[in-house]
Amino acid sequence: MSTILAIESSCDETSASVCRDGKILSNYIANQQVHEQYGGVVPELASRAHMQNIVPVVDVGIRQAGIGLQDLDAIAFTQAPGLIGSLLVGSQFAKSLALALNKPLIAVHHMQAHVLANLIPEQKPSFPFLCLTVSGGHTQIVVAKSPADLKVIGETLDDAAGEAFDKSAKLLGLPYPGGPLIDKYAREGNPKRFSFAEPQIAALDFSFSGVKTSILYFLQKEIKANEDFIKENLADLCASIQHTIVSILLKKYKKAALQTGITELCIAGGVSANSGLRKAFEEMCRQNGWQSFIPAFEYCTDNAAMIAITAYHKYLAGEFAPLSSTASARASWD
């Protein structure tokens, strides 16, 4: 039996989850509204909000799991990558608790945890599988041969897919984070109404900065002729932008599947909550006879359950971290 408490604090969500023998018992997430007025996450404000949130969030996570601190066998935390101040709050808290309870500590890589979020449900992929991880800071295609053997075979050279959504939304005058709003308005729009240039990037890598520039120039031109252009065409603009981003992602993902011959495909990360991507991904898999896996919404965006499931596999492998381990803004994948 293993009961693990996991803490996630890499960006602007404070989250705590308890996992018992690979089963998630709780996953409590506190969002931070303070950033909305600034159009993006303000790192110092994020750290301060984590400081306020961490004790009550862990308390709720433990209580919702129906356990007590004495039941814990290990404490896990997000070590990297992320905002350093935010990571420090979670890691220092986890280390203090591990020391106080005399329990082992488990350090987890946030991007690997996004991939392994696919191991949470009963219906999970078998190894080897592929994962397209699309978040606010990363866009990666990963080959997963085992929980401990994850290899990046393609990634973005500039903006991440989430950034492409958020920056496009900003150009449309939508508040941060704009990704979910583009998704919402896109439902009413025509995805073929406007077309934006797709990049020609070698191998399995991505680029999104050109798309953003092409949207900017297009809007500048149209607004000159009609200052209400965005307001009058919001749904079609959102649908067309979403269609372009999804198309860039899935063309490369399909290429990766064909190249590797792997037929079990997952998506993960905040952008995998996007309804257009989910639908097109499932359709692509269906057409090619591949099996598709998508985590539940609460496990797509940042959450501690994905840290907990990753920690569970590390626990089984006896992979513990010393109390001297520190958080890091950047981290090598290995």
- Residue 141 near ligand KG4 by CB under 6 A: no
- Residue 154 near ligand KG4 by CB under 6 A: no
Total residues binding ligand KG4 (CB under 6 A): 18
Q: Which residues are paired to 29 by β-bridges?
A: 15
- Residue 104 near ligand KG4 by CB under 6 A: no
Q: Parallel, antiparallel, or unpaired: how do β-strands 264-268 and 129-134 relate?
A: parallel
C-beta nearest to Zn ion: residue:
135
- Residue 238 near ligand KG4 by CB under 6 A: no
Burial class (CB in 10 A: 0-12, 13-18, 19+), 287: exposed
- Residue 11 near ligand KG4 by CB under 6 A: yes
Residue 270 and residue 134 in contact, taking contact as beta carbons nearer than 8 Å: yes
Is 98 or 131 the residue whose CB approaches ligand KG4 more closely? 131
DSSP assignments along 281-304, one per residue? HHHHHHHHT-EEE---HHHHSS-S
Is 189 or 270 the residue whose CB approaches ligand KG4 more closely? 270
Residue 76 and residue 94 in contact, taking contact as beta carbons nearer than 8 Å: yes
State whether the Cα torsion 297-303-304-308 is positive or negative.
positive
Which option in Zn ion, ligand KG4, none does residue 165 bind, with CB closer than 5 to 8 A by kind? Answer: ligand KG4
- Residue 136 near ligand KG4 by CB under 6 A: yes
Site string for ligand KG4, 272-291 (x = CB under 6 A): -xx-----------------
Q: Report the helix count and the strand count for the chain, using DSSP H and E.
A: 10, 10
Is 196 or 315 the residue whose CB approaches ligand KG4 more closely? 196
Q: Report the alpha-carbon distance of residue 92 to residue 293 in Å, rounded.
A: 34
Q: How far is the CB of 68 from ligand KG4 (least distance, A)?
A: 30
Q: Report the alpha-carbon distance of residue 263 to residue 98 in Å, rounded.
A: 40
- Residue 191 near ligand KG4 by CB under 6 A: no
Single residue of 31, 180, 204, 282 touching ligand KG4 by CB under 6 A: 180
- Residue 239 near ligand KG4 by CB under 6 A: no
Which option in ligand KG4, Zn ion, none does residue 191 bind, with CB closer than 5 to 8 A by kind? Answer: none
Single residue of 90, 125, 269, 295 touching ligand KG4 by CB under 6 A: 269
Q: Report the alpha-carbon distance of residue 304 to residue 227 in Å, rounded.
A: 44
